[in-house]
């Protein structure tokens, strides 16, 4: 399963929704509030066994599925690079 698909599943589960109506405007559409972002961070870190960099936790990075996926993939790459050294 791709990172985006996993993130979509996580969001659907904790928001208890069958679909995400505005996947490109999660914050600006009102779908996410600040508490949702913290819940999502917690669930992502648990699911992917990683810790997101505090610098990546911005409104812009949580506005849509693609930007969320990008920070997760960047964190996964950093985790993989650390394990190889």
Domain holding 48, by residue range, is 3-13+27-84
Report if residue 20 sits inside a domain: no
Report if residue 45 sits inside a domain: yes
pLDDT tens string, the chain, 85 residues long: the values are 899 999 999 999 999 988 888 889 999 999 999 899 999 999 999 999 999 999 999 999 999 999 999 999 999 988 777 777 6
pLDDT at position 46: 97
30: left (phi over 0), alpha (psi -120 to 50) or beta: left
> How many helices, marked H, and strands, marked E, lie in the chain?
3, 0
Number of domain units in the chain:
1
Report if residue 9 sits inside a domain: yes
Report if residue 80 sits inside a domain: yes
pLDDT at position 85: 60
* CA–CA distance, 46 with 63 (Å, rounded to integer): 20
Report if residue 7 sits inside a domain: yes
Report if residue 74 sits inside a domain: yes
Report if residue 21 sits inside a domain: no
Report if residue 22 sits inside a domain: no
């Amino acid at each position: 399963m791709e990172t985006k698909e996993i993130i979509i599943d996580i969001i659907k589960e904790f928001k208890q929704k069958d679909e995400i109506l505005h996947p490109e405007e999660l914050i600006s559409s009102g779908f996410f509030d600040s508490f949702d972002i913290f819940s999502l961070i917690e669930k992502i870190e648990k699911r992917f066994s990683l810790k997101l960099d505090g610098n990546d936790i911005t409104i812009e990075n949580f506005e849509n599925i693609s930007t969320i996926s990008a920070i997760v993939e960047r964190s996964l790459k950093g985790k993989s690079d650390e394990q190889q050294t």
